[in-house]
Amino acid sequence: MGKLLRHAQENKYAVGYFESWNLESLLAVKDAAEQAGSPAIIGFNGGFLGNSKRKVAESIRIYGALGRAVAENARVPMSLILNEATEVSLLMEALEAGFKVIMHDNEGGGLSESIRINTAIVRAAHGVGAEVEAEIGELPTAEIGGALASPGEKTDPDEAARFVRETGVDALAVAIGNVHVLEGRKSRLDFDLLAELRQKVTAPLVLHGGTGIDEAELRKAIHAGICKINVGTVLRRKFINSLKGYYQTHDVDLLDPGAVTSVGGDVDMLVGARAEIAAEIVRLMRVFGSERQAASIG
Ligand SMILES: [Zn+2]
């Protein structure tokens, strides 16, 4: 990831992290990246995969193997992240499973606690040639309908600088008005704060909550030094809407189950969903400026 982010910074664009939740959504990122000639960061959300409410406990090793295979077989450069896991043990397992970047979600923890945890995570990750992203401050999370479920806390530039210096993290996610899971309206970014962060923090800066930021603000944020943008919600929404549309236009009782789920042809519901996710990612890669950048990454 470090190599991708350095190239992005030098060439004034951002690499997208397009979060996946299953095989189709993972392959959609590969489809999009190859079509756009763009680097990409692929991966899964540790908070979801490791969620205690899951009916079946998932093995991070299976997801790591899937992600690694996709990254290794892609015709463009890719890195593999386990994003936002609350359990440190899951992050350690992720390193063994082949994830190249890990990120701890330190919900509600203070700065010194966060420094302590991330220092240990960085030591473990760097020991096996992997990298660490972390967040200082806290993004608000939106409810369906756009109201905020939590107010969040903007990133303090001096705290962020100290955090990066003491932990040695490889990338820093910042809270500058961006909101997690925001649909239907757009957040307003604090560009004065971003400028101060860029000036004080040595690590590459990451913007989560990409779904809820309008294109002009995304471009402006990239120009101001953001070089990784996380996108998840809009991809999940595309997937859901594609399946919803499928049921409205197909009578599945009259179709061969293989054709609906497995053959990969015109009436395969997963083909349509994958294509709709990929189309949205290609659109975002253009906004991020990462289109056609893959060829010049050494
Ligand atoms: Zn996030």
Summarised one tens digit per residue, pLDDT across range 50-80 is 999 999 999 999 999 999 999 999 999 999 9
CA pair distance 296, 298, nearest whole angstrom: 6
For the cut 80, the answer to whether the pLDDT of residue 108 exceeds it is no
Phi, psi values for residue 77, rounded to 5°? -70, 135
- Give the tens place of pLDDT for each residue, 12-44: 999 999 999 999 999 999 999 999 999 999 999
CA of 19 to the centre of ligand 1 (A): 10
For the cut 90, the answer to whether the pLDDT of residue 179 exceeds it is yes
CA pair distance 147, 209, nearest whole angstrom: 15
CA of 17 to the centre of ligand 1 (A): 10
Helix (H, G, I), strand (E, B) or coil at 205: strand
Strand ranges, E, within 10-100: 15-20, 40-45, 78-85
CA pair distance 235, 264, nearest whole angstrom: 20
Average pLDDT over residues 83-95: 97
Residues 227, 205, 88, 120: is their CA dihedral positive or negative?
positive
CA pair distance 231, 227, nearest whole angstrom: 13
Q: 101 with 80: CB under 8 angstroms? A: yes
Q: 140 with 148: CB under 8 angstroms? A: yes
What CATH number has the domain bearing residue 206?
3.20.20.70
CA of 275 to the centre of ligand 1 (A): 24
Q: Which residues contact 15 (CB under 8 A, 6 or more apart)?
A: 1, 4, 5, 8, 39, 40, 41, 227, 228, 229, 288, 290
Phi, psi values for residue 185, rounded to 5°? -145, 175
> Containing domain of residue 54, as a range?
2-296
CA of 180 to the centre of ligand 1 (A): 6
CA of 2 to the centre of ligand 1 (A): 19
CA pair distance 149, 140, nearest whole angstrom: 7
For the cut 90, the answer to whether the pLDDT of residue 298 exceeds it is no
Phi, psi values for residue 94, rounded to 5°? -60, -35
CA of 234 to the centre of ligand 1 (A): 13
- H helices, E strands: number in the chain: 12, 10
Q: What percent of the chain has pLDDT over 90?
A: 95
CA of 102 to the centre of ligand 1 (A): 12
CA of 209 to the centre of ligand 1 (A): 6
CA of 58 to the centre of ligand 1 (A): 20
CA of 245 to the centre of ligand 1 (A): 28
For the cut 90, the answer to whether the pLDDT of residue 134 exceeds it is yes
CA pair distance 204, 171, nearest whole angstrom: 5
pTM > 0.85 = yes
- Give the tens place of pLDDT for each residue, 248-282: 999 999 999 999 999 999 999 999 999 999 999 99
pLDDT band with cut points at 50, 70 and 90 for residue 293: very high
CA pair distance 159, 172, nearest whole angstrom: 12
Residues near ion ligand 1 (Cβ under 5 Å): 208
According to DSSP, residue 153 is labeled: B
For the cut 90, the answer to whether the pLDDT of residue 199 exceeds it is yes
CA of 231 to the centre of ligand 1 (A): 8
Whole-number pLDDT of residue 106: 83
Q: Which residues contact 51 (CB under 8 A, 6 or more apart)?
A: none
CA pair distance 8, 13, nearest whole angstrom: 5
Whole-number pLDDT of residue 205: 98
Whole-number pLDDT of residue 145: 83
The count of structural domains within the chain is 1
CA of 230 to the centre of ligand 1 (A): 7
CA of 246 to the centre of ligand 1 (A): 29
